[in-house]
């Protein structure tokens, strides 16, 4: 789908952003910690390409779906993984994708409310945004709860919408920006369309249901700002 499609020529009243694979390239740190976690559990470590599948979905889901762990094993893996995060910091081995910081500034200057909606724990998301000086770009910052009860993207989006509503923000023309099919389906559960970015960790097959796929920050800027 091209970005000139009439469905996209809207004056967006609010924009939700995913974090990993959309704003920051966090894959090196995440996959490295995943490999160490699996090694500590005595499990085989898949290829780097396979480990990229873990990036985006709730981490307990990834341990279950990709490593084949049962609930008890998944919790043990989560404990090991979070210990590593605490040791090195949530912003370790991550970087902002080129052009994203400028885009967020442009959107903020245009008066469009922004929200973060990520399946990464909210506390970690805050650390990353603070590290890169992006906290003030967002009206609402929403992530997974520490107990992972709120981790599915639909639940995170629901919480973001609740917080935005409490602030009196107009959600009549809201869009989600992400890189995985979890973003598409999670936002769609609340009637919110999604544009996928190609620089993230999703595959072309994950674009099903997205209203557009963009290959560059400039293309995303055109879609969001016209």
Beta strands in 85-173 (DSSP E): 95-96, 114-121, 140-144
From the candidates 18, 20, 155, 183, which is the catalytic residue? 18
The 10 Å Cβ neighbour count of residue 65 is: 13
Residue 120's φ and ψ, nearest 5 degrees, are: -70, 145
Is residue 18 within 8 A of residue 176, CB to CB? The reply is yes
Q: Residue 27: which residues within 8 A CB-CB, separation 6 or more?
A: 20, 21, 52, 55, 201
Three-state SS at 47 = coil
- C-alpha dihedral sign at 96, 66, 84, 130: positive
**Best CA proximity match to 131, nearest among 15, 41, 12, 26:** 26
Is 18 considered catalytic here?
Answer: yes
Is residue 173 within 8 A of residue 10, CB to CB? The reply is yes
Q: Which residues are catalytic?
A: 18
């Amino acid at each position: 789908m091209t970005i000139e499609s009439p469905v996209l020529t809207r004056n967006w009243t609010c924009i939700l952003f995913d974090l990993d694979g959309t704003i920051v390239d966090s894959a090196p740190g995440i996959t490295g910690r995943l490999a160490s976690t699996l090694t500590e559990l005595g499990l085989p470590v898949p290829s780097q390409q396979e480990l990229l599948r873990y990036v985006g979905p709730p981490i307990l889901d990834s341990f279950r779906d990709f490593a084949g762990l049962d609930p008890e094993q998944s919790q043990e893996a989560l404990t090991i993984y979070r210990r590593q995060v605490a040791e090195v910091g949530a912003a370790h081995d991550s970087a902002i994708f080129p052009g994203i910081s400028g885009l967020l500034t442009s959107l903020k200057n245009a008066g469009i409310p922004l929200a973060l909606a990520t399946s990464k724990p909210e506390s970690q998301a805050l650390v990353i945004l603070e590290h890169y000086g992006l906290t003030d770009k967002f009206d609402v910052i929403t992530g997974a709860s520490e107990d992972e009860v709120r981790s599915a993207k639909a639940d995170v989006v629901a919480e973001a919408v609740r917080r935005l509503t409490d602030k009196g923000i107009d959600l009549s023309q809201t869009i989600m920006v992400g890189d995985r099919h979890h973003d598409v389906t999670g936002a769609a559960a609340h009637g919110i369309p999604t544009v996928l970015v190609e620089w993230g960790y999703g595959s072309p097959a994950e674009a099903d249901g997205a209203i557009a796929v963009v290959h560059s920050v400039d293309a995303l800027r055109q879609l969001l700002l016209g």
